Chains A and B, each alone.
Chain A
Amino acid sequence: GENVEQHPSTLSVQEGDSAVIKCTYSDSASNYFPWYKQELGKGPQLIIDIRSNVGEKKDQRIAVTLNKTAKHFSLHITETQPEDSAVYFCAASITSGRRALTFGSGTRLQVQP
């Protein structure tokens, strides 16, 4: 089955700096790559996603890049703010076989004011 690895496990940045989280996946048939943000005591919420026919997608301060050849994708957060502090998860899925998201192990991002 699919395997998703995520790095780093923790990330501390100063307010205003950029943060980058990286993920790799194993199944070349994966074609959907969402990123979720989980705040304390809550369920994960989608913040951005990208499909395999697109190399980059941007939404205000958040961007995601996908390299299908290398099988890795990254989340970029610019001009970080204290409210960006949370746990971030990458995920991957395919439309055949196990039709569900496989998640990375998560990155705890702390933005220092």
Chain B
Amino acid sequence: NAGVTQTPKFRVLKTGQSMTLLCAQDMNHEYMYWYRQDPGMGLRLIHYSVGEGTTAKGEVPDGYNVSRLKKQNFLLGLESAAPSQTSVYFCASSYGSNTEAFFGQGTRLTVV
């Protein structure tokens, strides 16, 4: 099993450009999450989904949009990238909210 796969692994964007980060899981998990990791701030929740077709805002949702059209995929979009969105982005999935979350390898995004 591949677990949680994130695409791409690295990306450099110019301010104002848009992009989509793709997360795919093969564990049939209902819950999926997008976190960002910044030095000294741990992992902060951007958006999450409790099932196909559902999304909800997390702690830091501004500037991001998400979609969960298929159970196995969770997409994170940046419509107009800003330098403040330079970060490492992690996708995760879990069976429920109180069960082990499995993380992808991360996407390192730099906005210049």
Judging by beta carbons under 8 Å apart, are A105 and B40 in contact? Answer: yes
* B97 contact set on A, CB distance < 8 A: 32, 93-95, 99-101
Whether the pair A100, B98 counts as a contact (CB closer than 8 A) is no
Q: List 21 A-B contacts (CB under 8 A).
A: A1-B59, A6-B42, A9-B40, A31-B98, A36-B103, A42-B105, A42-B106, A43-B92, A43-B103, A43-B106, A89-B42, A95-B97, A98-B58, A99-B48, A100-B33, A100-B58, A102-B45, A103-B44, A104-B42, A105-B41, A105-B42
Total A-B Cβ pairs within 8 A? 69
Give B25-49 interface residues, CB cut-off 8 Å to A: 31, 33, 35, 40-45, 48
Closest residue of chain A to B48, judged by CB?
A100
Which A positions have Cβ atoms within 8 angstroms of B? Answer: 1, 6, 9, 31-32, 34, 36, 41-46, 49, 51, 89, 93-95, 98-106
B74 CB within 8 Å of chain A: no
Min distance, Cβ A18 to any Cβ of chain B, angstroms: 23
Q: How far is the CA of A103 from the CA of B59 in the complex (A)?
A: 11
B87 to chain A, nearest CB (A): 14
